[in-house]
Amino acid sequence: MATLNDLQAFDVQGADASVWVFKTSNATGVPRFTGHWIGITEELGAEIKGAVATSRATITETLEYDILVLNDESTALTIPTDETYAPLIVAQVANQTPARKVRNLRHLANSKFYAIKFVNAQGTLLAVRKTDNTWASKKTAGVIKMVYTDDELDVDREPTFNIQPFFDFFVLNDHIFILNKPRFESALLYKTGHADAFESLTAEPEFTAIFADVAPITEFVGTNKLRLRRAIAIQQKAHYKDANFMNNLKQHYGAMDLHIQFDAQGRIIPTPESCRDIFQALLNFRLDSRLSGELFDVQHTEPVG
């Protein structure tokens, strides 16, 4: 298992480097990544290696990836590659053949993300970043680009593509180290996985059995990214499968100021107004402080002891 020490010890300066650009599609419901590689000059390679080293050096600790957890600037979230679509990317960069080389600008324009590939005796490291608007084919509409040469300004007709000095995530062997969670999820279409998981949750008999009607829950979540995350967290915590937890909810929801209704069979009756409180309850995010006697809504819970 790749660790933070392995990431920090990877010899970027001594590695061979190339740039891979990827376009993505999800028209059939199955994510597809199309990658092409391009060589880089020694000068650009040195700049990129310095940027990767700087970006990597900001990481001082790691946390396991969780649907609801956000990291700060010195913490990387980690997740096994096989729990994401990253293996599709890794398989393509391993096939660095002439047929996959960038041959024209259309291979570069409108790319969704780029991956700097480093190869040495230690293996392969990918430093990945979502592209900015300089990669969009229509970015120059209505703009006259200029370049300063020999004390004059001249029209610059050459396309330019920016590589940012900080990266969204690193892929090393069997693990991903995530510095920017939203951009990681966007680049690897991780939200697609959230939608699929939510669909499986609403088809799960143990989940649907606690509701008089699950349709309002489905409408409440929709395609909202945060609500999808919270729904998957509900599935991971699985409090709805715990009879004691559900009995406690029925007994104490009023005292916890949770606006939830139950039918004669003890099932939750979801409404547009109550869905938020239902999620807070199933996430166990409504807490009662013994110290202040106040109720609190929290974003994440971690058992003590």
Structure confidence at residue 268 (pLDDT): 97
The answer to whether 22 and 111 are in contact (CB under 8 A) is: yes
Q: Please tell me the pTM assigned to this model.
A: 0.71
**CB under 8 Å, gap of 24 or more: what pairs does 286-289 form?**
286/256, 286/257, 286/258, 288/256
Residue closest to 165 by CA, chosen among 47, 256, 83, 43: 47
3-state SS of 96-127 is CCHHHECCCHHHCCCCCEEEEEEEECCEEEEE
Question: How high is the mean pLDDT of the chain?
Answer: 87
pLDDT digit string, tens, across residues 41-83: 899 999 999 999 999 999 999 998 877 788 898 999 999 998 8
Structure confidence at residue 139 (pLDDT): 54
The answer to whether 55 and 165 are in contact (CB under 8 A) is: yes
Start-to-end CA distance of the chain, whole Å, equals 27
CB atoms within 10 A of CB 214: 18
The answer to whether 48 and 35 are in contact (CB under 8 A) is: no
pLDDT digit string, tens, across residues 145-194: 655 566 565 556 666 777 888 999 999 989 999 999 989 988 988 766 67
CA distances from 251 to 208, 212, 240, 245 (A): 20, 18, 15, 10
